[in-house]
């Protein structure tokens, strides 16, 4: 690794200096390291000549006074902020930081087909899909995406065979139980939307605990749509607004789009309620009742690959496609 790094650096620079004694600028890796790039960011290079697409004041520890001021804050939070800023810059080649979507939504379609193509049981497809989800969460976290909404289980999915539904519920419990420490370490906040009253009691408890444990995390907002329907989301928002009118809090003529939008379930996170990019895998061209109001101006990307096969390369393709689009919102540019 160090021989590779010394090859990349100009001969006059030293390959590595400790953070506290250097003027340092985080390097945007020109090589094809995705998550591996994060390991490079954690060791800092003293090389201003590598500051190409990165503002030089973004990541700098210049002198001891600044270092002492920073040392007064919590070390864990400081490290998280440094890692966040560094990781934001280490995007794969072809992706620009300035035009990265802030909120990505994913319809994870194709698990059953993936399993049937391989003559495996459906549960194997869902397990493979679960691993793909973990990878996309990690990538989103590394690339500075601030919110990721995943369509894990729709209201229509309750019609599937009971064994499959029970298996999926166990998978979701595993997501909240086994990876909670990992989410906290990476600053991922969990939010569950949908009609959770239909979920098993154990899953309801786990999801509430996961939301409570991670509510102070700010690096990535992971919104998991369980038993969710976009139509029901809009209807419940309308009913809440109507309730306010009934109670005299609002006049009917005061009801506006923003007042209705505030009551949508995706406002649980508050920062980025509307997705910039919505990805659907398996080549199907429909929204399947997912984030209807919220996807009014969302760019849609339909990937041909099935969800378990959707990996870093497909994700890069989707993000690159988003970055090439002109978002006009009805205007002319």
> Which of 284, 325, 312, 318 has its CA nearest to residue 108?
284
Please state the closest distance from residue 137 (CB atom) to other proteins, in A. Answer: 24
- Contact residues for other proteins (CB under 8 A)? 156, 159, 230-231, 234-235, 238-239, 241-243, 245-246, 252-253, 255-257, 260-261, 284-289, 292-293, 295-302, 325, 329-332
Residue 159, class by beta-carbon neighbours within 10 Å (0-12 exposed, 13-18 middle, 19+ buried)? Answer: exposed
Both tokens of 210, joined, read 């996961």
Please state the closest distance from residue 329 (CB atom) to other proteins, in A. Answer: 6
Q: Which residues contact 56 (CB under 8 A, 6 or more apart)?
A: 25, 48
Q: Which is nearer to other proteins, 17 or 113 (CB)?
A: 113
The values of phi and psi at residue 187, to 5°, are 75, 35
Please state the closest distance from residue 260 (CB atom) to other proteins, in A. Answer: 6
Whether 109 is catalytic? yes
Q: Which is nearer to other proteins, 162 or 331 (CB)?
A: 331
Rounded CA separation 31/80 (Å): 24
Both tokens of 209, joined, read 């605990």
> Which of 265, 200, 254 has its CA nearest to residue 228?
265
- Catalytic residue chosen out of the listed positions 109, 138, 233, 314: 109
Q: Which is nearer to other proteins, 22 or 232 (CB)?
A: 232
Please state the closest distance from residue 192 (CB atom) to other proteins, in A. Answer: 21
Q: What is the SS3 assignment for 202?
A: helix
Q: Which is nearer to other proteins, 197 or 253 (CB)?
A: 253
By annotation, the residues acting in catalysis are: 109
């Amino acid at each position: 690794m160090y021989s590779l790094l010394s090859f990349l650096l100009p001969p006059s620079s030293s390959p590595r200096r400790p953070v506290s004694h250097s003027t340092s600028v985080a390097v945007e890796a020109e090589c094809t390291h995705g998550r591996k790039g994060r390991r490079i960011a954690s060791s800092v290079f003293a090389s201003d000549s590598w500051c190409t697409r990165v503002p030089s004041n973004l990541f700098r520890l210049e002198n001891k006074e600044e270092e002492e001021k920073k040392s007064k804050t919590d070390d864990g939070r400081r490290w998280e902020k440094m890692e966040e800023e560094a990781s934001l810059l280490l995007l794969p080649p072809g992706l620009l930081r300035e035009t990265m979507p802030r909120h990505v939504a994913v319809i994870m379609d194709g698990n059953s087909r993936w399993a049937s193509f391989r003559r495996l049981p459906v549960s194997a497809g869902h397990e493979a899909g679960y691993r793909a989800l973990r990878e996309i969460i990690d990538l989103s976290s590394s690339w500075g995406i601030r919110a990721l909404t995943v369509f894990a289980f729709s209201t229509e999915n309750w019609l599937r065979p009971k064994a499959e539904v029970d298996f999926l519920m166990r998978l979701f419990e595993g997501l909240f139980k086994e990876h909670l420490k990992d989410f906290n370490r990476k600053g991922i906040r969990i939010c569950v939307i949908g009609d959770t009253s239909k979920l098993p009691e154990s899953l309801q408890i786990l999801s509430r605990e996961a939301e409570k444990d991670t509510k102070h995390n700010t690096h990535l907002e992971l919104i998991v749509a369980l038993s969710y329907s976009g139509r029901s989301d809009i209807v419940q928002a309308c009913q809440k607004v109507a309730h306010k009118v009934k109670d005299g809090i609002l006049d009917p003529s005061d009801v506006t789009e923003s007042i209705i939008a505030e009551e949508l379930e995706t406002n649980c996170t508050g920062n980025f309620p509307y997705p910039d990019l919505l990805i659907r895998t398996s080549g199907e061209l429909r929204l399947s009742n997912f984030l209807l109001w919220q996807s009014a101006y969302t760019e849609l990307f339909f990937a041909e690959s099935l969800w378990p096969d959707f990996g870093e390369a497909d994700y890069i393709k989707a993000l690159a496609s988003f970055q090439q689009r002109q978002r006009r919102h009805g205007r002319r540019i």
